[in-house]
Chains A and B, each alone.
Chain A
Amino acid sequence: QKEVEQDPGPLSVPEGAIVSLNCTYSNSAFQYFMWYRQYSRKGPELLMYTYSSGNKEDGRFTAQVDKSSKYISLFIRDSQPSDSATYLCSPEGPGGYQKVTFGIGTKLQVIP
Chain B
Amino acid sequence: ETGVTQSPTHLIKTRGQQVTLRCSSQSGHNTVSWYQQALGQGPQFIFQYYREEENGRGNFPPRFSGLQFPNYSSELNVNALELDDSALYLCASSFRVGDGYTFGSGTRLTVV
Enumerate chain A interface residues (CB-CB to B < 8 A): 4, 6, 8, 31-32, 34, 36, 41-46, 49, 51, 88, 90, 92-98, 100-105
Judging by beta carbons under 8 Å apart, are A102 and B42 in contact?
yes
Listed from nearest, the 3 A-B pairs whose CB atoms lie closest are A97-B56, A43-B103, A102-B42
B98 and A92: CB pair below 8 A?
yes
CB pair B98 A96 closer than 8 Å: no
In the complex, chain B residues whose CB is within 8 Å of the CB of A104: 40-42
Interface residues on B, range: 20 to 34
Q: Nearest chain-B residue to A100 (Cβ)?
A: B45
- Determine the chain B residues whose CB is within 8 A of the CB of A8 once the complex forms: 40
24 contacts between A and B (CB under 8 A): A31-B98, A32-B98, A32-B100, A36-B103, A41-B108, A43-B4, A43-B92, A43-B103, A43-B106, A44-B90, A44-B101, A45-B103, A46-B100, A51-B98, A88-B43, A92-B97, A96-B50, A97-B56, A100-B48, A100-B101, A102-B35, A103-B42, A104-B40, A104-B42
Known: A88-B42, A105-B42. A100 touches B102 (CB 8 A): no
Chain B interface residues (CB < 8 Å from chain A):
4, 6, 31, 33, 35, 40-45, 47-48, 50, 55-56, 90, 92, 97-98, 100-106, 108
Given A97-B56, A104-B41, check contact A32 B102 (CB 8 Å).
no
Report chain A residues within 8 Å CB of B35.
Answer: 102
- Known contacts A93-B97, A97-B48; 20 further A-B pairs (Cβ under 8 A): A6-B42, A32-B97, A34-B101, A36-B100, A36-B103, A41-B105, A42-B106, A43-B6, A43-B106, A46-B102, A90-B100, A92-B98, A95-B97, A96-B31, A96-B50, A100-B33, A102-B43, A103-B42, A104-B40, A104-B41
